[in-house]
Amino acid sequence: MKYGQTGARRRMLDIIQKSFTQSIQTKIAASEELPEYIQKAARMMIDALINGNKILSCGNGGSAAQAQHFSSVLLNRYERNRPALPAIALSTDTSTITAVANDASFDDVFSKQVKALGQAGDILLAISTSGNSANVISAMQAALTRDMTIVVLSGMDGGEMAGFISENDVEVRVPSSRTSRIHEVHLLVIHSLCESIDNALFPMSSGD
What pLDDT digit, counting tens, does each position of 77-135 carry?
999 999 999 999 999 999 999 999 999 999 999 999 999 999 999 999 999 999 999 99
Q: What is the pTM for the complete model shown?
A: 0.94
Percent of the chain scoring above 70 in pLDDT = 97
Question: Exposed/middle/buried for 105, CB within 10 Å: 0-12, 13-18, 19+?
Answer: middle
Residue among 138, 51, 46 at smallest CA distance from 90 = 138
| β-strands 87-89, 149-154 pairing | unpaired
